[in-house]
Structure 1
Amino acid sequence: MTASPAPAAAALTTRAQEVSSRIVDDILTLVRQETSSYDLPGLAAGLDLLRELTVQRLGQPDHEHRYPGGECGDTLTLTYAGTGTGAGTGAGHVLLVGHYDTVWPTGTLAGWEQPGASEDGREKLGGPGIFDMKTGLAQGIWALKLARESGAPLPTVTFLFNGDEEIGSLSSRPVIEEAAQKADVTLVLEPTAHGAVKTARKGTGIFQVTATGVEAHAGLAPQDGASAITALSEFVVAAAKVAAPDRGTTINTGLFRGGSAINVVAGQATAGVDIRVSSEAEQARVDEELDAIKVSDPRVRIEIDHAWNRPPMTLNAASAPLLALAREVAREQGRDSLPDTAVGGASDANFVAALGLPVLCGMGAVGDGAHAQGEFIYPDTVPAQTGLVAGLVGRLTQPLRD
């Protein structure tokens, strides 16, 4: 592995501490603009705000492109050319990825209550999307700002902001994959796992199961009917048994709809099933075993839409040197360690890892409560996390080598 001279991570962290109130102000500015994944006007305003904030802190990018998202939020790339020797002709290229959409419906902010201090007296800040993942967005922008202000050589940095991660990155996935293939490394600014970076994530499937039966009058001729609801209920129970938590495989039916009236044997029913797997082998097993499920009434037809959304992510050979370099930077900051961990949730890092490219996820906020009303960050961790990303970017002026 090669790395070029870089600004001391400790000095960058100290500088981040000096401007931490400004970084937090930018975090809260982003939080105050609600960006529900399903609110296209809100997403457009949020991306405009994010671009404006980036330009305020870093100046006009050397290149930018906005990719229309259709029914999803747009994706924006902003590239800042490197300042190292030979920049643009072999210098490192770092991709910083972060989503600006949130799971929270527009209007949530008005009723949000700020959390009290933690048991040990540490301040918390809450808000829709503050942990997942608007803090990471602001920290990433400031990381490059502080690294540039240090005057040390830097790689080319591309920011990729997408507005559909929470609903599967339906429009942004090809943009992410193309950008990652052009970069040397990818850092995903998703929140940490209690300070740990995320090097393994489960793959996800969002399956739709449809049962088509035979309608009949529930009182006059129930024997003529074949209940889609009864059959789909049998399927759901059988599907739950395909789960294998000891292998990291979970199956959850979260939505169930069906029928047309109480006095009608249901002719149609649908279920939405969330599936998480840790390996491609488990993905194949789940597909096979779900397809093999039989229901008791042969008149009911079961159809399964096998919609695998994200592949499993593991610490691949390309990412191991990047993790080692991040730990070097953390030691320079004075940290005792920089742990890594596996988590059940998926992110855009899954796509990059599946390509065999170097990627680290969970480079953003320290806090807790993703997708929960109590979502919060610890603002006292903002300088260290900003300094970590700034220091790591500064060490990537040349492509990594094993």
Structure 2
Amino acid sequence: MSIVDPNVSALSVWLALESPTHHLPGVNGMMDLVTKEVEGLPIAVERLPGRDGLGDSLILRAGLDNGEPAVAVMSHLDTVHPVGTSAKDLPVRIEGDRLYGPGVYDMKGGAWLALQAFKQVAKAGSAKRPMVFLFTPDEEIGSPTTRGVIEDIGRASVAVLVTEPAREGGKIVTARKGVGRFEVKLEGRPAHSGSRHADGRSAIREAAHQILAIEAMTDYARGITTSVALVGGGTAANVIPQHAWFSVDCRVTSLVDGQMMESRILGLKPHDPDVTIKISGGMNRPPYEKSMAVAGLFETARAIAAGIGFDLQDCPMTGGGSDGNFTAALGIPTLDGLGIDGDGAHTLKEYALISSIAPRQALIKGLLETV
């Protein structure tokens, strides 16, 4: 099917290059596409080499060099879909107002439209202050190699605009839960499950006790959730399992609750004293709370949106984390969910609404020129 809309045609080039986090050619290929887009424009490009087997990062700078704090835009170019998804399970295609494709909603659509806004303002010279645009390669796995640069750019900025996808009906994000990740490893005592059963100490049985205890820490009234979604262990069906492991996901609404939950999970003790437990990890994204400064920046965005012709709303605190958690926790006014509208993030039904591209691009352009 031919694609005639120039916006859709250009964005489809990004979708065709699949870039799951650990696929270095795809992620760095995306950085190459961004670099090519800004060639010949009044935009300085700095490329930071990747580490730990992950891709590079890219920093674009434009606007006035007047010593004022910058307005920063942040996007990630890694996705969750494995290479080959577009060839079989989620082909790039248009159905009515929907553009389907791996990562179109989370978050290549938002990264692409924000880059167009950034280019427009850079070419027009219409920014009141310096502008910085950071593209990262590892947000989908918690930003392990880029948190430092995210926070450094945040500290030097008057505001941060994050192009994660919009929520239902185009709402943006002004608060996110903090995220914790933990790994639990257990070691028991192996024995033949028939002739020497009593001699064994089951690591899997101990894991079951600990998993139930962790799941019971969920407190919906306080906005705390805990879940175990990955688990493994054992060696053979006729052996009392010596080893077991599982991962823990924790979400909280406040820094205090994050500290409390980290202490509770790291402090777990074995139910069976003959089984040892080793727990690693912690809170890796602090809560992003709607401060007065965030609320003020949101009102600025609402006024810009009204001038464009739509009523911008924000959603209640969302459970998913993003790089906006890092900058908001530093006290930097941060708006998130400024990307493309659509649905189906991380699924094979992921799509973006083509009609949302122009107004949301105009919103980011207005913010770059106003903040």
Same-fold status (TM-score > 0.5): yes
For 2:44, the equivalent position in structure 1 comes to 62
- Are 2:77 and 1:100 aligned? yes
Task: Give the secondary-structure state (helix, strand or coil) at the position aligned to 1:27.
Answer: helix
Distance 1:151 1:293 in 2: 56
Q: What is the Cα deviation at residue 106 of structure 1? A: 1.0
- Write out per-residue CA displacement over residues 158-200 of structure 1, whole angstroms, 9 at most, x where no aligned residue: 1100000000100010011101111221100111112111011
- Write out per-residue CA displacement over residues 273-318 of structure 1, whole angstroms, 9 at most, x where no aligned residue: 1111111222233234335545442101122213221111111233
Q: CA separation of 1:23/1:260 partners in 2, compared to 1, >3 Å: closer, same or farther?
A: same
Q: CA separation of 1:318/1:215 partners in 2, compared to 1, >3 Å: closer, same or farther?
A: same
Distance 1:291 1:179 in 2: 31
Task: Give the secondary-structure state (helix, strand or coil) at the position aligned to 2:316.
Answer: strand
Distance 2:335 2:17 in 1: 27
Q: What is the Cα deviation at residue 150 of structure 1? A: 5.3
- Are 2:240 and 1:265 aligned? yes
Equivalent positions of 1:76-95 (< 5 A) are: 76-80=58-62, 82=63, 87-91=64-68, 93-95=70-72
Q: CA separation of 1:116/1:382 partners in 2, compared to 1, >3 Å: closer, same or farther?
A: closer
In structure 1, stretches of 5+ residues that fail to align are: 1-19, 397-402
For 1:49, the equivalent position in structure 2 comes to 33
Distance 1:153 1:303 in 2: 52
Task: Give the secondary-structure state (helix, strand or coil) at the position aligned to 1:73.
Answer: coil
Question: TM-score of the superposition, structure 2-length normalised?
Answer: 0.93
Task: Give the secondary-structure state (helix, strand or coil) at the position aligned to 2:174.
Answer: strand
Q: CA separation of 1:225/1:376 partners in 2, compared to 1, >3 Å: closer, same or farther?
A: same
Q: What is the Cα deviation at residue 263 of structure 1? A: 1.2
Percent identical: 34
Distance 2:105 2:312 in 1: 22
For 1:226, the equivalent position in structure 2 comes to 201
Give the letter aligned to residue 286 of structure 1.
Answer: M
Give the letter aligned to residue 216 of structure 1.
Answer: A
Q: What is the Cα deviation at residue 61 of structure 1? A: 2.3
**Are 1:204 and 1:274, in contact at CA under 8 Å, matched by a contact in 2?**
yes
Give the letter aligned to residue 186 of structure 1.
Answer: V
Question: TM-score of the superposition, structure 1-length normalised?
Answer: 0.86
For 1:32, the equivalent position in structure 2 comes to 16
Task: Give the secondary-structure state (helix, strand or coil) at the position aligned to 1:94.
Answer: strand
For 2:130, the equivalent position in structure 1 comes to 156
Distance 1:339 1:395 in 2: 19
For 1:284, the equivalent position in structure 2 comes to 259
In structure 2, stretches of 5+ residues that fail to align are: none
For 2:332, the equivalent position in structure 1 comes to 357
Distance 2:336 2:117 in 1: 16
Residue from 247, 253, 257 that aligns with 2:222: 247
- Which structure has more RCO (C-alpha within 8 Å, separation ≥ 6)? 1
- Are 2:172 and 1:197 aligned? yes
**Are 1:368 and 1:376, in contact at CA under 8 Å, matched by a contact in 2?**
yes
Distance 1:145 1:187 in 2: 15
**How many pairs align?**
366
Distance 2:13 2:7 in 1: 10
In angstroms, what is the RMSD of aligned CA positions? 2.0
Which stretch of the first structure deviates more once superposed, 131-140 or 319-328? 319-328
Give the letter aligned to residue 55 of structure 2.
Answer: G
- Write out per-residue CA displacement over residues 108-147 of structure 1, whole angstroms, 9 at most, x where no aligned residue: 1101246785xxxx52111100000001111111112333
